[in-house]
Amino acid sequence: MRIFEYENKDTRQILALGPESNGNFSFFYQNKLYFSEDFGDLLIDKNFHNYKTGLSKFLSANNFRPDIILTDSHPLYKTTTLGRNLAKKYPARLIQIQHHLAHIFSAIGDKTLLTRNYQLEKALGITLDGTGYGSDDKIWGGEIFRISKSKFQILNQIPQLKLQIERIGHLENQVMIGGDLAIKEPARMLIGILSKFLPKESIYPHIRKYYSAQEFEVLYNQSQQKFNCIETSSTGRILDAVSVLLGFCGNQRNYKHEPIELLEKNSAKPYLDLKPEISKDSDGNHILSTTYLFNYILKYLHKNKDISDGDRNRLAATAQLYIAQGLYRIISDADFEIRDFYLAGGIANNKIISGYLDSKGAYASRTIPRGDAGLSFGQIVFYLSGH
């Protein structure tokens, strides 16, 4: 258990239960923020048992009874269910916090730990990860948020500061064929993406090593009919699909982040001729096209039929740089004064993406983990910041 001094006027006991993939919890009381160990993937029964045992011992040893319980907004996470049960037990107020906002505020809290007098006023945040439940019931993971604090008046009281948060951009939504199965079999993502600009007969050669013609037919039709499919703006799923297309990983994820780690490991100097393609949707959100990225890669592969390993290595780096450059261009074009600029989420650990955004002034966590293992910390910072 790590303990940080974190000054805030809130006198209540606040418990944050974090996500599911990297289980950890945080607790705030009397200007102290307690940050637990990472218990690992809570979908593994042993890890979830250890998580609940560790939480129970922590609360009992300190005689804590939380007034506020914070969970992820995903309705099916084990930690969300646990939060509901604990809220009835104590009783406590239950508040669900969107996954990617917790990531951003984890980075904001990290900066606060290093800069004691730091005050959040205006900020832009990029969150890049694999899976997070979005407010539109889609799976997010390549998001840009605009954050500010504004005063609002309560009758006969001192004006209060309240957070104003707007999602202003994201990666283009792509189809996860079979939902979570597309995480385990990244070639499913590739089929969905390529079907946006290639005829069916031109897609199969790129995935024939993973599926029979009959299996491909089923998956292709599934994607066209949107049956058991979900849309995602996830950076992780895009990089998975690039890794499969370039042959760095197979169609079975042996451990978390395997396709992305292999893509990064096999990266070399990027090509610099690929410029971000950005559009706006009907709500005014900026959309970075990822279909355009795959079109570029395939044109290069077709033009150079005897492509070398070195070329594939350069294309791997190009794909990662394209995402970083595209998201930064959206931020640069936004009608918003950039005072603070944050990068968060598990893919903030990617050296190519984080390196580029760091060169543009992004702040990524240095003390708290950037991925889900730092999410409960971010949940508390979000709440204390004036949700």
Between CA 80 and CA 374 the distance in angstroms is 16
pLDDT of residue 333: 78
Structure confidence by residue, pLDDT tens digits, 68-88: 999 999 988 999 999 999 999
The DSSP string of 308-322 is -HHHHHHHHHHHHHH
How far apart are the C-alpha atoms of 145 and 262, rounded to whole Å? 29
Sign of the CA dihedral running 315, 321, 322, 323 = positive
Q: Could you give the 3-state DSSP secondary structure of residue 371?
A: coil
| Cβ-contact 160, 152 below 8 angstroms | yes
Let me know if the fold of 2-118+366-384 is the same as that of 174-359.
yes
**Cβ(370)–Cβ(346) below 8 Å:** yes
pLDDT of residue 335: 66
Confirm whether pTM is higher than 0.85: yes
- At residue 387, the pLDDT reads 57
Enumerate the domain spans of the chain: 2-118+366-384, 174-359
Report the pLDDT value the prediction gives residue 155, as an integer from 0 to 100.
Answer: 45
User: What pLDDT does residue 153 have?
Assistant: 43
Confidence bin at 97 (pLDDT 50/70/90): very high
Q: Tell me how far apart the terminal alpha carbons of the chain are, to the nearest angstrom.
A: 26
Where residue 8 falls among pLDDT bands split at 50, 70, 90?
Answer: confident
pLDDT of residue 162 exceeding 80, the answer is no
DSSP state of 37: P
Q: What residues form DSSP beta bridges with 94?
A: 69
Higher pLDDT pick, 339 / 90:
90
With 0-12 / 13-18 / 19 or more C-beta atoms within 10 angstroms meaning exposed / middle / buried, residue 198 is middle
What letter would DSSP give residue 138? S
Q: What is the pLDDT of residues 321-369, one digit of tens each?
A: 999 999 999 998 776 666 789 999 999 999 999 999 999 999 999 999 9
Structure tokens at 294: 């795959």
Average pLDDT over residues 306-314: 85
Question: If pLDDT is split at 50, 70 and 90, which confidence band does 157 have?
Answer: very low
Homologous superfamily of the 174-359 domain (CATH): ATPase, nucleotide binding domain (3.30.420.40)
CATH class of 2-118+366-384: alpha beta
Q: Of 45, 53, 113, 44, whose CA–CA distance to 36 is shortest?
A: 53
Tens-place pLDDT, residues 205-259:
999 999 999 999 999 999 999 899 999 999 999 999 999 999 999 998 888 889 9
Q: How open is the CA angle 78-131-292, to the nearest 5 degrees?
A: 165
How many CB atoms sit inside 10 A of residue 14's CB?
A: 23
For residue 152, is pLDDT > 60? Answer: no
In contact, 138 and 231? CB cutoff 8 Å: yes
Q: Indicate the burial class of 221 (C-beta count within 10 angstroms; 0-12, 13-18, 19 or more).
A: exposed
DSSP at 215: H
CA proximity to 362, closest of 327, 336, 321, 314: 327
The answer to whether the beta carbons of residues 145 and 100 sit under 8 Å apart is: yes
Give the Cα separation of 212 and 220 in Å (integer).
12
Q: Which two tokens stand for residue 359?
A: 């060169």
- Assess contact for 255 and 269: CB atoms under 8 A: no
How confident is the model at residue 303, as a pLDDT?
76
pLDDT band at 156 (very low <50, low <70, confident <90, very high): very low
Distance, CA of 318 to CA of 306 (rounded, Å):
19
Q: pLDDT tens digits, residue range 173-202? A: 999 999 999 999 999 999 999 999 999 999
Q: What is the pLDDT of residues 29-76, one digit of tens each?
A: 999 999 999 999 999 999 999 999 999 999 999 999 999 999 999 988
pLDDT, residue 386, reads 79
| 273 vs 308: which has the higher pLDDT | 273
Residues 256 and 40 sit within 8 Å (Cβ to Cβ): no
Provide the pLDDT confidence category of residue 163 given band limits of 50, 70 and 90.
confident
Whether the bond into 205 is cis, omega within 30 of 0: no
Q: What are 87's two structure tokens?
A: 């809220």
